[in-house]
Amino acid sequence: MVLASSFNQGIWILNGFLLLIVLYMIGSPTYYWWRGRQLKGALTEEEFEKGRTRAQIIDLRERKTFDTKHILGARSMPMASLKQDMGSLRKDLPVYVYESGTNLAIRAALQLKKAGFTEVRWLKGGFREWHGKTKGKAVA
């Protein structure tokens, strides 16, 4: 009887843990979508292209992915090193960030805003939606 009670308690703990994981997986993207709407920093491809020449364009993807193909004029600053590398950015110029999708770009925009950057925008839909000018190495 004690063994069955202990087993049931273990099942409840496991179910609770799994529920927390599911809530996090649903909640995290929803939170960044909501924060992104509050910041109002999403740029369409046309808006991004129009402001590209005066903005600092940051590619948040990993360096290897950046080297394969990136938006012309962008520089690589993976999200993992953003905090350390943001000191090389000018606060008096707009900062445009992008990644493959959108959530990571919104997280980066929040970090940059918190650090004192006033004009931070991101590419709506991310790099996978970009049809403008690119640069990169041919893949063998």
Prediction pTM value: 0.73
Of residues 82 and 27, more confidently modeled = 82
Q: Hey, what are 78's tokens? A: 């993976």
Question: Binning pLDDT at 50, 70 and 90, where does residue 6 land?
Answer: low
What beta strand segments (E) does 22-81 contain?
42-43, 56-59, 70-71, 75-76
Q: Which helix (H) or strand (E) holds 89?
A: none
Cα separation, 83 vs 85, in Å, equals 6
Per the CB < 8 A criterion, the answer to whether 136 and 69 are in contact is yes
Tell me the angle at which helices 103-114 and 2-39 cross, rounded to the nearest 10 degrees. Answer: 70
Tens-place pLDDT, residues 110-139: 999 999 999 999 999 999 999 999 998 865
**b/e sequence 40-50, b meaning 16+ C-beta within 10 Å:** ebbbeeeebbe
Look at residue 92 in the predicted model and tell me its pLDDT: 96
3-class DSSP state of 59: strand
Question: Binning pLDDT at 50, 70 and 90, where does residue 65 land?
Answer: very high
**Mean pLDDT within 31-46:** 69
